[in-house]
Amino acid sequence: MMQHTMKRKITFFIGLLALLGLVAGTIMLISRRTPKQGELSVESTPEASVYLENKHLGRTPYDGKVDAGEYTIRIVSESTTPQFSAWQGKIVVGSNLLTFVKADLAESELSTAADTLWLEKTGGKSSEAVITTNPDGVTVSLDGETKGVTPTTLSDISAGDHTLTMSSPGFVTRTLKIKTNAGYRVVITVKLALSPGTSEPVASPSATPTESEEGPTPTQGGKPTPTPSKPSPTVADPAKPFIIIQDTPTGFLRVRMGPSVSATEAGKVNPGEKYTILDEENDWYEIEYDKEKTGWVTGQYAEKVE
């Protein structure tokens, strides 16, 4: 009788262990299938709607959980008086990490400013910041000390709170408060706003001689003498699909070796020029900008014609 009771206890114990193992395995399977998430925080001036891959998330200020991954975010003001230009950019949401977006919308896209920041784990003990801007060549200062021009990487930054300042002639200076952590890289992308009263530069198809090159402009009665203009030759459109380079704050558009603002600059193209699209990736276009020379330009300042 005692032996029979012992067998029943052993059988019950084995069954209980098997059940616990099954439950634990199910929990692990579910956790693996559940997408890893990070936190997305979005602020804007004025209040606006937030879209992630064209899906409406809500209105600013927005804070919520988002599946980890790379996204196109769009911030759209619903104001009609005045009507503000929408802003769009790329962000990365890391698992259990914060991605922060702030946009100061304006009536013109050129006068809109925006910041995106997210963290990436490096595995090291130091902290660093990777900074890109629109336009390029912006002077970067960390805690009041000039560090270089964008795009740039600031390595071995002490963990803690810092003040990051970005400035460029003709643009409104942008100042950010950032927090760095040991073992993490903060990725920062900033779009500067054109300064009020600054006219949008427009590139000329041919270079205009400066005073130092050709001497002062001849005048009549204190006014510049008009120069007769020559009719521009008609140029046939390239093979479709092609892009038309749009006006930019700098008067030209940089061509890069890859589809990213951090890729090496390869050359420049001018507004109004047209180029056949060789390839397309993440709103970047590959073109042949010079004989047997190819590179990538951002779709932000290019109109696609199909």
Preceding peptide of 151 cis, ω within 30°: yes
Task: Give the pLDDT confidence score for residue 16 in this predicted structure.
Answer: 63
Q: What is the pTM of this model?
A: 0.58
Q: Within a 10 A sphere around the Cβ of 218, how many other Cβ atoms?
A: 8
241 shares its domain with 167: no
2 inside domain: no
Domain boundary among 157, 191, 225: 191
DSSP state of 15: H
Helices and strands in the chain, H and E counts: 2, 25
Which residues of the chain carry a pLDDT beneath 50?
A: 200-233
The strand pair at 242-245 and 302-305 is best described as: antiparallel
Say how many domains are in the chain. Answer: 2
Task: Give the DSSP per-residue string, 138-178.
Answer: -EEEETTEEEEESSEEEEEEPSEEEEEEEE-TTB--EEEEE
Both tokens of 84, joined, read: 């503000």
68 inside domain: yes
Task: Give the pLDDT confidence score for residue 211 in this predicted structure.
Answer: 33
Domain boundary among 158, 191, 224: 191
46 shares its domain with 117: yes
Task: Give the pLDDT confidence score for residue 27 in this predicted structure.
Answer: 62
66 shares its domain with 157: yes
Domain that holds residue 289: 236-305
Domain boundary among 125, 156, 191: 191
205 inside domain: no
Residue 22 dihedral angles phi and psi, to the nearest 5°: -65, -45
112 shares its domain with 243: no
187 shares its domain with 247: no
210 inside domain: no
Task: Give the pLDDT confidence score for residue 2 in this predicted structure.
Answer: 55
Give the three-class secondary structure for 116.
strand
67 shares its domain with 150: yes
Query: Do 255 and 287 meet the contact criterion of CB atoms below 8 Å apart?
Result: yes
240 shares its domain with 167: no
We report the CATH number of the domain holding residue 242 as 2.30.30.40
45 shares its domain with 182: yes
223 inside domain: no
132 shares its domain with 185: yes
185 shares its domain with 241: no
277 shares its domain with 175: no
Task: Give the DSSP per-residue string, 69-108.
Answer: EEEEEEEEE--BTTBPPPEEEEEEE-TT-EEEEEEE--SS
Task: Give the pLDDT confidence score for residue 55 in this predicted structure.
Answer: 92
Residue 32 dihedral angles phi and psi, to the nearest 5°: -70, -35
Task: Give the pLDDT confidence score for residue 228 in this predicted structure.
Answer: 45
20 inside domain: no
113 inside domain: yes
14 inside domain: no
61 shares its domain with 185: yes
Task: Give the pLDDT confidence score for residue 29 in this predicted structure.
Answer: 56
